[in-house]
A and B are shown apart, each in its own frame.
Chain A
């Protein structure tokens, strides 16, 4: 039976949603009888996270080594490749998170195999299995297949669904990576937190974004208030980031982040192509712009042609009423 490994990442108290999405796909494949699956976690594993992962896997392998105490691309790559080799894995799935995209290519190089990065779909039953990935800023989709194994795939968050948890928890085992410290030449010296507990744009289900139409940095509070009401993450266009109204971390677009939320609300955004490329896989797009010819309306499901200084507060108030806040 071909073995699938799902690399799991944690955030705070639980596994990342994208990891649960891939564990769910792994479980479906295991159900078919052709595959076995294992969740793999590297480094410090809390009891809470462990407990949650066990509800979404047949088996959880905890790969340990002092070198894995903090994330390094080298250390994580050696550990995951080492386990994949030892266990004869045929496929490795991981979320296309910042970390996933950073070290999984190294795993591929170590195992002399291929990687498909940032896939948004899979044809699991095709022979050979193929994966869909956007190119040219999402304007073209490429369907790719592998000629080497294990096939390594990083998947864009929100591309797959999270299934129901198992009624019976999976097994747990530890695996010693056996990496000598001299093999890792990177170390994290300092971590500074600037914002706590924020949902990352790339994993957010709900995003409210603002552009130059907001006219001034302080007017972003209209976006923030609306976002707060529905628990959305705030996004920004390149021009407001370049104008230093918002942080680079908030930028959605070609040179910023690519997002895939259930809802993308954009206010005061014209819809320049490099921005559209960062959000056009959003399921529902609502655009608010004074200009009826704004390009963003070509990429939206719903549009309001109007003054955002009136529309945004009105929406915030209506949402508060409806959500009982």
Chain B
């Protein structure tokens, strides 16, 4: 069973994000982390490999720094890692990024593609489903359980008010939701192996792509400007005993704010 995992290195969720003077670029504190949801994807891939034998390949599109995310994957147990690195890939929207990733994935046969349900920097959640569509594959989004059988897989998805079990023919793509598994902490032996691992690279040319098809040029949606959300006014503390404050809070909500 060949499993491909798509991962993204993102700014650490606590990294400071500011808008540049021109309003069209961001100043982000240089602290990085693996996208939370991708950890569930890597873990699930490793569990599939443990049960069904095969290979786990981790792929990321990013700058040289993104190699850290790949090394984490290898430290956890992935067999191969590929960095898609090319200036032409930068600043892509979901479409352009998914397009490049799908080309890279298609280079070798695979049975399953796993990725996080969304990256918590851009918060788009588009790449997984788009990669599936570009490759002509079915996909199941937001899985919390995955069982692989013969040429098929059964996935569970939490839906409003319940759970759905979906059967899908392989090859297929799955996006991981929290609750799918508990990602393992790499062992020291894994970390050492990761530090020595050979990371393959691929550029636009390697994938047979022109700059018009990738990154900013290949994007269908562009950011015109950034802005900050409206600042909330300072909190109004409601004074009094718990009972008094409770009564006043209800009055404010019903008569002043009229929320119900």
Contact A186 B260 (CB under 8 A): no
Partner of B245, one of A141, A145, A251, A304: A304
Q: Does A142 contact B (CB under 8 A)?
A: yes
- The majority secondary structure among interface residues of chain A is mixed
Contact B161 A248 (CB under 8 A): no
Smallest beta-carbon distance B220→chain A, Å: 3
Contact A318 B139 (CB under 8 A): no
Q: Does B203 contact A (CB under 8 A)?
A: no
A231 and B129 alpha carbons, distance in the complex (Å): 35
Contact B123 A137 (CB under 8 A): yes
Contact B235 A189 (CB under 8 A): no
Residues 233 to 288 of chain A near chain B (Cβ within 8 Å): 248-249, 251, 254-256, 262-263, 273-274, 280-281, 283-287
Contact B225 A249 (CB under 8 A): no
Contact B226 A143 (CB under 8 A): yes
Q: Which residues of A contact B94 (CB under 8 A)?
A: 105, 108, 115, 117
Residues 87 to 117 of chain A near chain B (Cβ within 8 Å): 98, 101-103, 105-106, 108-110, 112-117
Smallest beta-carbon distance B236→chain A, Å: 5
Contact A318 B250 (CB under 8 A): yes
Contact A109 B257 (CB under 8 A): no
Q: Does A185 contact B (CB under 8 A)?
A: yes
Smallest beta-carbon distance B75→chain A, Å: 22
Q: Does B98 contact A (CB under 8 A)?
A: yes
A304 with B246: in contact, given A98-B142, A147-B219 (CB under 8 Å)?
yes
Q: Does A138 contact B (CB under 8 A)?
A: yes
Contact A73 B139 (CB under 8 A): yes
Contact A106 B142 (CB under 8 A): no
Q: Which residues of A contact B139 (CB under 8 A)?
A: 73-74, 106
A72 and B164 alpha carbons, distance in the complex (Å): 11
Count residues of chain B with CB under 8 A from any CB of chain A: 80
Contact A193 B161 (CB under 8 A): yes
A137 with B142: in contact, given A106-B133, A304-B245 (CB under 8 Å)?
no
Smallest beta-carbon distance A319→chain B, Å: 6
**Chain A: interface residue count, which band?**
35 or more
Q: Does A195 contact B (CB under 8 A)?
A: yes
A280 and B158 alpha carbons, distance in the complex (Å): 24
Partner of B138, one of A72, A306, A319: A72
Q: Which residue of B lies closest to A116 (CB)?
A: B221
Contact B243 A98 (CB under 8 A): no
Partner of A255, one of B121, B178, B225: B178
Contact A322 B250 (CB under 8 A): yes
Tell which of A58-66, A128-136, A164-172 binds the partner: A128-136
Q: Does A216 contact B (CB under 8 A)?
A: no
A77 and B236 alpha carbons, distance in the complex (Å): 47
A280 and B159 alpha carbons, distance in the complex (Å): 24
Contact A147 B224 (CB under 8 A): no
Residues 162 to 183 of chain B near chain A (Cβ within 8 Å): 162-169, 172, 178-179
A135 with B122: in contact, given A184-B138, A186-B166 (CB under 8 Å)?
yes
Partner of B220, one of A108, A136, A230: A108
List 13 contacting pairs A-B, 8 Å CB cutoff, sorted by A. Answer: A72-B138, A73-B140, A106-B130, A118-B124, A133-B123, A136-B11, A141-B228, A186-B172, A189-B165, A196-B161, A205-B259, A306-B241, A306-B242
Interface residues of B (CB under 8 A from A): 11, 13-14, 17, 19, 26, 36-37, 93-95, 98, 120-130, 132-134, 137-142, 144, 154, 158-169, 172, 178-179, 219-229, 232-233, 235-238, 241-243, 245-247, 249-250, 252-254, 257, 259-260
Task: Give 9 A-B pairs besides A194-B163, A248-B144, A300-B235 with Cβ atoms closer than 8 angstroms.
Answer: A73-B139, A130-B224, A185-B168, A185-B169, A187-B166, A254-B36, A283-B259, A302-B249, A314-B247
Give 10 closest A-B pairs by Cβ, nearest first: A114-B220, A314-B246, A310-B242, A109-B133, A114-B221, A148-B220, A185-B169, A105-B129, A193-B162, A190-B165
